[in-house]
Structure 1
Amino acid sequence: MNTERTRFYRDKVNGKFMGVCAGIADYTGVDVLWVRLAAVILTLSTGFGFPLYILVGLLAPKKPGHLYGNREEQKFWQGVRQSPGRTAREVRAKFRDIDRRLADVESFYVSNNPRLSAEIERLR
């Protein structure tokens, strides 16, 4: 597994203060508004929220700029972090679909082209 894309980073680019809430949102795929709201509620109810935020902000590495190529890649890696098994099943299903579609294309061209059909059978 690509550990660079599956670990936690603080996101200074999308963050307000130290980027901890934006990093949690990026890591989990939850909207950053809900993460910030949870941090405020944790701080107001227990008092541990702000010291914990500062501690994570000091210890967590900053998110590299080259981490994701596009939004689709970001969503894929969030899915990997949330449920690696489910993501592997989805990838296998996509490959099975591609294989099925290629088999359909092959059978279409082979059935309409006897010379190509003979060539494929000779290669087997």
Structure 2
Amino acid sequence: MSVYDNRDDRGYLTEQPASRTRFYRDKRNGKIMGVCAGIADYTGFDVNLVRVCFIATVFMSGGSVLPFYFIAGFVTPTKPSALDYENREDRQFWQGVRASPTRTAKDIRSRMRDIDRRLADIESYVTTENRSLAKEIEQLR
């Protein structure tokens, strides 16, 4: 059974399917429970910066935030291995989606319009009467 097909033997969903826009603990990159690594992954900040900020918060609060850390560690699900990033560009894309879904959708639409325009240019070049292109194609045969 894959992460995206969370059905039991009777066909009922057993849990929510994995989502790239949800907050998860990142135990693979974490030190204690993976909460700081999960926050870093979700927000796009460096994990060491998140850890330093957390330690500073613990000292400034007199340790009163530690229970929240452990509660988050027990309540938050672990990041499924199927959601690991392929490369740095993939990580940046999904962090951008979490930060601003509207801006990401606009960027994708803009890229698709550019690709569509370039394909239309290629199509018009190939379909118009072009003697030199026809001559090159005939030479290749």
Range into which the TM-score falls when normalised by the shorter chain: 0.7 to 0.9
Of structures 1 and 2, the one with the larger relative CO (CA 8 A, separation 6+) is 1
**Equivalent pair of 1:13/1:19 in contact (CA under 8 Å):** yes
Deviations 1:47-81 (A, max 9, x none): 23322211111110011001135123232211111
| Deviation beyond 3 Å, 4+ runs, structure 1 | none
- Structure-2 separation of matches of 1:89 and 1:28: 20
- Structure-2 separation of matches of 1:112 and 1:44: 75
- Structure-1 separation of matches of 2:45 and 2:38: 10
2:29 alignment partner in structure 1 = 14
Deviations 1:9-66 (A, max 9, x none): 0000000110000000011111101111110111000123322211111110011001
- Cα distance 1:69–1:27, how it changes in 2: closer, same or farther (>3 A)? closer
**Equivalent pair of 1:40/1:49 in contact (CA under 8 Å):** no
1:88 alignment partner in structure 2 = 105
Aligned-partner SS, 2:79:
coil
- Structure-2 separation of matches of 1:17 and 1:50: 12
2:38 alignment partner in structure 1 = 23
**TM-score normalised by structure 1 residue count:** 0.83
* Greater percentage in helix: 1
- The runs of 5 or more residues in structure 2 that have no matched partner are 1-16, 132-141
2:12 alignment partner in structure 1 = none
2:49 alignment partner in structure 1 = 34
Tell whether 2:61 aligns with 1:68: no
**TM-score normalised by structure 2 residue count:** 0.74
How many corresponding residue pairs? 113
State the superposition RMSD in angstroms: 1.8
Deviation at 1:109, TM superposition (A): 1.1
